[in-house]
Amino acid sequence: MMEVCGSSNVTLREFGSEQSLLSRPDGSASFIQGNTSVLAAAYGPAEVKVSKEIYDRATLEVLIQPKVGLPGVRERAQEQCVRETCEASLLLSLHPRSSLTLILQLIHDDGSLLSCFLNAACVALMDAGLPMSRLFCGVTCAIDADGQIITDPTAAQEKESRALMTFAIDATERRVMMSSTRGSFSVHELQQCIAVSQKASEKIFQFYRDSVRRRYSKTL
Amino acid sequence: MKDTPLSNCERDFLLKAIEEKKRLDGRQTYDYRKMKITFGTDFGCCFVDLGKTRVMAQVSGELVTPKENRPNEGIMFFNIELSPMASPAFEAGRQSELSVKLNRQLERCLRNSKCLDTESLCVVSGEKVWQIRVDVHMLNHDGNLMDAASIAAITALCHYRRPDVGIQGDDVTVYSPEERDPIPLSIYHMPISVSFSFFQQGTYLLVDPCEREERVMDGLLMIAMNKHREICSIQSSGGIMLLKEQVMRCSKIASVKVSEITELISKALENDKKARKAGGKCGFAESMPQERITALKMDETPVEMTDVTNRANDIVQKAEAPPQTVPSPLVPVPGVGQVGQGLHNTWGLEEEDEEEEDDEEEEENDNSCEEQEETKMEEEQHEKEESGGGDVVEISDSEEEEVVILHPEKPDNAPTNTGSSSYQRGAATSKKKQKK
Amino acid sequence: MFSGLKDKVGEVLLPGDEFSLETEDTISLTERVKPEKVVCGPGLRRSGDRLLVCKSGVLRHKQPNMFWMDSQQRRYVPAKGETVIGIVTVKSGDVFKVDFGGSEQASLSYLAFEGATKRNRPNVQVGDLVFSQFVVANRDMEPELVCVDSSGRANGMGVFGAGGLLFTVSLGLARRLLSPHSEVLSDLQTLFPCELVVGMNGRLWVRSSSVQQTLVITNLLQSCDTMTAPQRQELFRRAAQGAL
């Protein structure tokens, strides 16, 4: 039986976020987890191209910009993970025939990148005031060679891990909205990682609440 | 997405304000907006804030084969990304007129001015040289992207450290930063672009135009200069005629601005060097303004692990074990492996069946088919009621025509089976009809 | 029934927060039981027997049973009856196309101006500002604006804008300026005389006696969003003394 209690690896690195830091987009946020940082901007509901118009809901586009070069297959795969999570939480049917655009700019990758993308996306969508049925957050877990679970791993920890899992967790029922895994692991390990991520997500949701409260502190 | 159109009243007001030597943000004509230079966590990453305009530059190096006509020189490559993050009018992955113009200007400013010692980037002549790539990402567009981009690019180049390379015979080894300290690029001088916008056919002149000022300007003059007062490139666009005195005046202003900006860059670089030496944290995360109400930061937090193990165990135990037994593979004909039966396809079979069957049956079948649709709903109810009685016939609720499998265990007599099944179905419906 | 909701008035809520709308189990026999209705404004949605918050912001309440979320959004979503500042972008046939900052352009008929007839067309140029009201604004139809009220009067609406400056603020600030007895507005009145047009779409237009004063007001209003009332009053006081 694998034991994770009391392990020092199960921590979230220091994390932070700034909202509305860009003047042009309708909503923007930076999200920082340790050294990993991402900048997100959201536009919408805005004019949609005829070719992308959907008659009964808004079209959501997610663009991930790498630091060097043009977006490739890796970015496309991450875009899809983020887009599907956002689609599940946004109330897209409230703005039919319009477009929502979410742009995620990678600032620095030091592990747990996908979860950082998800968190930045959520804060930016919230900042843009888009109607959402629930909030979500991303948590990355790595299982190292000894079978220890590491939450929010750094790039070095990711490299040495046997398996890497990222979950998008919803705020109301702590359900798993999206999962992206790499490497091999047992069903038991998967369940344990989900349980750890659910616990960790509480911290992030509390952080969301605190930062929004702080933001509105002057207009109460 | 389209940009917000500029209204006539904004245009008139801006021009009137410029005539009165007033600017939207209270600046004087020759003032730059507040400039802030920050660095990323890794080498060669630089952010420049110019008022609300924000750009990021990242320098990266790669070993490539040199160009044939310049075997001893490294390659410099510039790429300005007009990300839609900066403005809704920008489109991702599309070359617009503006992006071509900015890219070209940056190349002229930094590559053609020979500010970088490209010969020092040669590793093996004609075989391997360093390609230094500068990616500039626009993050927020509030005017004067060019100046911000040029400052970000040159600062990032100064900040960048390329990995050390060792040559032994024919082997080239690239050392990781842990093995050998990476080395900085050798930069001769720092060209910085300064933009001037002209209004009313060149009567009025503004330094560092903001976005709305750029929209109403008649012409733009960009002068790239280093702190030794050497002009590296000069470009006038917008099609206005400038007098010699105007260009001279602009170059004088530019020399003052360039020395101020160079001072700022070297100070920022020095600061960053100190911070890195001290081993303190640096980078984007540290540049987050803590005092703003829109920003919040949490320290490293442990995740409470109580009952995580139990919960995971619970879930695993409660979860139904996946069926261990896999149906044994079937070999109907040599060379074919098959697991399970799937469903029998009746799409093409119907006509054949009808041919095979007697007229009587055909008639009945047709009738039943017609009536079946009408009575489908009722049938479903019936089905529930006589769940005990319907031991032979299965009626699926799917939209497709019902497929009835009598004895799915016997794949051998499949063709005859289908025939008889449709007969059975007819019989079953007729039975129901009688019941009604 | 709405006690749970009323308790939270003035608090910051996040999307996904829920309220139960179930009726209480005990019904008083002496008092007459009236079926209570709750009016949900922007940011609140009903899902089944629950009330769901779908925008982050502060929960506000107005007697008797109106609730809405007050958020600092920037993108405008049109609503019927709201007045906005639009920019005319196209003149085509018998309608103008007007940009109001939403997801599509609104149409404004030639005839929807005071005193306009087929012969007597209003003088509107591309790029002009119009202060107008939504008569059609829902998610499935093209929004439509008019510059007359129900009795055919302009009532302050129409083409305007000469000599002033247009700028944008957050929708929250625009609403705060429009609310009756607005503190920001009363603070502004102490400064110097100016004309102010506030659109619900976050566009503001200011004109005062000089360019300098117009610019001061513009910058003051744009910075109001992130200030508490005392900070704002302090800043306005300094501006009045001529420090800016």
Maximal C-alpha separation, chain A: 56
Evaluate whether C174 touches C72 at the Cβ level (below 8 Å). no
pLDDT at B396 over 50: no
Instruction: Assess if residue A1 is contained within a domain.
Output: no
Tokens for C14?
């996040």
Predicted model pTM? 0.84
Instruction: Assess if residue A10 is contained within a domain.
Output: no
Least Cα distance to C167 among C44, C85, C65 occurs for C85
Evaluate whether A16 touches B296 at the Cβ level (below 8 Å). yes
Query: Do residue B1 and residue A47 have CB atoms under 8 angstroms apart?
Result: yes
Residues of chain C found within 8 Å of residue B293, distances taken between Cβ atoms: 226
Q: Where are the alpha helices (DSSP H) in chain A?
A: 73-89, 113-127, 155-160, 187-215
Q: The domain that contains A205 carries what CATH number? A: 3.30.230.70
Query: Which pLDDT score is estimated for B320?
Result: 64
* Rounded Cα gap, residues A15 and A37, in angstroms: 9
Evaluate whether A168 touches A84 at the Cβ level (below 8 Å). no
Residues of chain A found within 8 Å of residue C104, distances taken between Cβ atoms: 47, 97-98
**Least reliable range by pLDDT among B178-192, B255-269, B414-428, C40-54:** B414-428
Name which of B92, B284, B300 is nearest A63 (Cβ-Cβ): B92
φ, ψ for residue B261, nearest 5 deg: -70, -40
Work out the pLDDT band at C161, boundaries 50, 70, 90: confident
Could you give the 3-state DSSP secondary structure of residue B251? helix
In which order are the strands placed within the sheet that holds C194-198? Answer: C165-168, C203-208, C194-198
Print burial letters for A5-19: b (CB count within 10 Å at least 16), e (below 16): eeeebbbbbbbbbbb
Instruction: Assess if residue A31 is contained within a domain.
Output: yes
Specify the DSSP element, H or E, that contains A105: strand A99-108
Number of domains in chain A: 1
Least Cα distance to C76 among C205, C168, C144 occurs for C168
- Answer with the residue of higher pLDDT: C36 or B9: B9
Name which of B5, B8, B17 is nearest C211 (Cβ-Cβ): B17
Question: Could you tell me the CA-to-CA distances from B416 to B214, B391, B407 in Å, in that order?
Answer: 82, 21, 11
Say how many C-beta atoms besides its own lie within 10 A of residue A194's C-beta. Answer: 23
Ranges B333-337, C112-116, C228-232, C240-244, most confident: C112-116
Cis before A96 (ω within 30): no
| DSSP secondary structure letter of residue B118 | G
* Rounded Cα gap, residues A171 and A201, in angstroms: 8
* Rounded Cα gap, residues A150 and C68, in angstroms: 42
Least Cα distance to B6 among C142, C88, C1, A69 occurs for C88
Query: Do residue B13 and residue C127 have CB atoms under 8 angstroms apart?
Result: no
* Rounded Cα gap, residues B434 and B377, in angstroms: 17
Beta strands in A1-98 (DSSP E): 11-12, 15-19, 27-33, 36-46, 59-65
* Rounded Cα gap, residues C196 and B56, in angstroms: 38
Query: Do residue C165 and residue B26 have CB atoms under 8 angstroms apart?
Result: no
CA angle (B218, B223, B225) in 5-degree steps? 165
pLDDT at B392 over 70: no
pLDDT at C146 over 90: yes
pLDDT at B380 over 80: no
Least Cα distance to B330 among B322, B341, B320 occurs for B341
- Radius of gyration of chain B from Cα atoms? 38
Say yes or no: C227 contacts chain A, CB-CB below 8 A: yes
Could you give the 3-state DSSP secondary structure of residue B357? coil
For tokens 């509901």, name the residue: A45
Evaluate whether A62 touches A104 at the Cβ level (below 8 Å). yes
Query: Which pLDDT score is estimated for C27?
Result: 59
**Least reliable range by pLDDT among B167-176, B353-362, C38-47, C105-114:** B353-362
Query: Do residue A207 and residue B296 have CB atoms under 8 angstroms apart?
Result: yes
Name which of C99, C164, C215 is nearest B4 (Cβ-Cβ): C99
Say yes or no: A90 contacts chain C, CB-CB below 8 A: no
Q: List every span in chain B annotated with CATH 3.30.230.70.
A: 8-189+255-287
- Radius of gyration of chain A from Cα atoms? 17
For tokens 């994770």, name the residue: A4
- Answer with the residue of higher pLDDT: C37 or A105: A105
In whole numbers, what is the pLDDT of chain B averaged over residues? Answer: 79
End-to-end CA distance of chain C: 52
pLDDT at B397 over 80: no
- Answer with the residue of higher pLDDT: B301 or C66: C66
Instruction: Assess if residue A89 is contained within a domain.
Output: yes
pLDDT at B426 over 50: no
pLDDT at B185 over 50: yes
Region B219-238: what's the mean pLDDT?
92
Residue-wise pLDDT tens digits, B115-153? 999 999 999 988 899 999 999 999 999 999 999 999 999
Evaluate whether A137 touches A205 at the Cβ level (below 8 Å). yes
Chain B, nearest residue to C100 by Cα: B4
Query: Do residue A132 and residue C70 have CB atoms under 8 angstroms apart?
Result: no
Query: Which pLDDT score is estimated for B105?
Result: 93
Query: Do residue A128 and residue C102 have CB atoms under 8 angstroms apart?
Result: no
Residues of chain C found within 8 Å of residue A99, distances taken between Cβ atoms: 103
Could you give the 3-state DSSP secondary structure of residue A182? strand
* Rounded Cα gap, residues C40 and C51, in angstroms: 9
Name which of A18, A199, A203 is nearest B294 (Cβ-Cβ): A18
pLDDT at B99 over 80: yes
pLDDT at B389 over 60: no
CATH number for the region B8-189+255-287 comes to: 3.30.230.70
Say yes or no: A71 contacts chain C, CB-CB below 8 A: no
Query: Do residue A209 and residue C16 have CB atoms under 8 angstroms apart?
Result: no
Domains along chain C? 3-70 (2.40.50), 83-160 (2.40.50.140), 165-240 (3.30.1370.10)
Its domain, for residue A101, covers 15-215
Work out the pLDDT band at B432, boundaries 50, 70, 90: very low
Residue-wise pLDDT tens digits, C74-122? 999 999 999 999 999 999 888 999 999 999 999 999 999 998 888 888 8
Q: Which of B214, B301, B313 to mutate to test the interface with A (most CBs of A within 10 A)?
A: B301
Residue-wise pLDDT tens digits, A136-157? 999 999 999 988 899 999 999 9
Indicate the burial class of C105 (C-beta count within 10 angstroms; 0-12, 13-18, 19 or more): buried
Query: Do residue B316 and residue A63 have CB atoms under 8 angstroms apart?
Result: no
- Answer with the residue of higher pLDDT: B25 or B338: B25
Question: Could you tell me the CA-to-CA distances from B193 to A75, B49, B149, B227 in Å, in that order?
Answer: 33, 15, 9, 11
% pLDDT > 70, chain A = 95
pLDDT at C149 over 80: yes
Dihedral through CA C179, CA C184, CA C185, CA C190, nearest 10?
A: 160
Evaluate whether C87 touches B5 at the Cβ level (below 8 Å). yes
**Least reliable range by pLDDT among A58-67, A200-209, C55-64:** C55-64
- Answer with the residue of higher pLDDT: C22 or A207: A207
Residues of chain A found within 8 Å of residue C227, distances taken between Cβ atoms: 218
Evaluate whether C130 touches C158 at the Cβ level (below 8 Å). yes
**Least reliable range by pLDDT among B73-82, B363-372, C15-24, C191-200:** B363-372
Evaluate whether C244 touches C216 at the Cβ level (below 8 Å). yes
Chain C, nearest residue to B212 by Cα: C167
- Chain A closest-CA separation from residue C98 CA (Å): 13
Query: Which pLDDT score is estimated for B48?
Result: 94
Query: Do residue C129 and residue B7 have CB atoms under 8 angstroms apart?
Result: yes
Say how many C-beta atoms besides its own lie within 10 A of residue B12's C-beta. Answer: 17
Work out the pLDDT band at B313, boundaries 50, 70, 90: confident
Instruction: Assess if residue A50 is contained within a domain.
Output: yes
Cis before A45 (ω within 30): yes
